[in-house]
């Protein structure tokens, strides 16, 4: 109780100039279709594309900015892409092994 340590600086006061809240969509590649919203009451940040309707949400804090939500979304997309690439690689290697077997058989005959 009463264990509220306020670390570091307090968050900056509300700025009047708008930060970028519109980004390029990783799914449809539309240049400015992704909008980020931050709900500080519920500590939820959401990025969504108004063209292809893909969306992403994550937890935020008082210091989270729209670009943070967006880059988290990109990270998540890359992680998924990498998983898919791994599957493709495995399948390719299996095919290659069969080829190697054929080669071995031929050299045994000689
Ligand atoms: Zn999109």
Contact indicator for 49, 25 with CB cutoff of 8 Å? yes
Q: What is the structure's pLDDT at 26?
A: 93
Q: Give the number of C-alpha atoms closer than 13 A to the C-alpha of residue 98, restricted to the C-beta side.
A: 4
Q: State in Å: Cα 14 to ligand 1 middle.
A: 30
pTM (two decimals): 0.60
Please identify which residue in the block is written with the tokens 């992680």: 79
Q: State in Å: Cα 74 to ligand 1 middle.
A: 12
- Give the domain ranges of the chain: 22-102
Alpha-carbon distance 58 to 48, whole Å?
12
Alpha-carbon distance 102 to 42, whole Å?
62
Q: State in Å: Cα 91 to ligand 1 middle.
A: 30
Please identify which residue in the block is written with the tokens 């708008």: 18
Q: What is the structure's pLDDT at 86?
A: 74
Give the architecture-level CATH label for domain 22-102: Single Sheet (2.20)
Q: State in Å: Cα 103 to ligand 1 middle.
A: 47
Worst-scoring range by mean pLDDT, 21-30, 74-83, 89-98?
Answer: 89-98
Q: What is the structure's pLDDT at 21?
A: 85
Three-state DSSP class for residue 37: strand
Q: State in Å: Cα 64 to ligand 1 middle.
A: 22
Q: State in Å: Cα 110 to ligand 1 middle.
A: 59
At residue 60, what are phi and psi to the nearest 5 degrees? -130, 170
pLDDT one-digit tens code per residue, 99-109:
666 555 565 55
Q: What is the structure's pLDDT at 16?
A: 46
Q: Residues 82-109: what's their mean pLDDT?
A: 64
Q: State in Å: Cα 27 to ligand 1 middle.
A: 5
């Amino acid at each position: 109780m009463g264990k509220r340590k306020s670390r570091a600086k307090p968050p900056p006061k509300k700025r009047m100039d708008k930060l970028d809240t519109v980004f390029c969509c990783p799914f449809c590649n539309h240049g400015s279709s992704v909008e980020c919203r931050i709900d500080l009451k519920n500590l939820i940040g959401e990025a969504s594309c108004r063209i292809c309707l893909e969306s992403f949400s994550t937890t935020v804090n008082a210091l989270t900015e729209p670009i943070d939500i967006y880059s988290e979304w990109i990270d998540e997309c890359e992680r998924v892409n990498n998983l898919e690439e791994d599957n493709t690689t495995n399948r390719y290697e299996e095919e290659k092994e069969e080829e190697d077997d054929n080669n071995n058989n031929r050299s045994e005959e000689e």
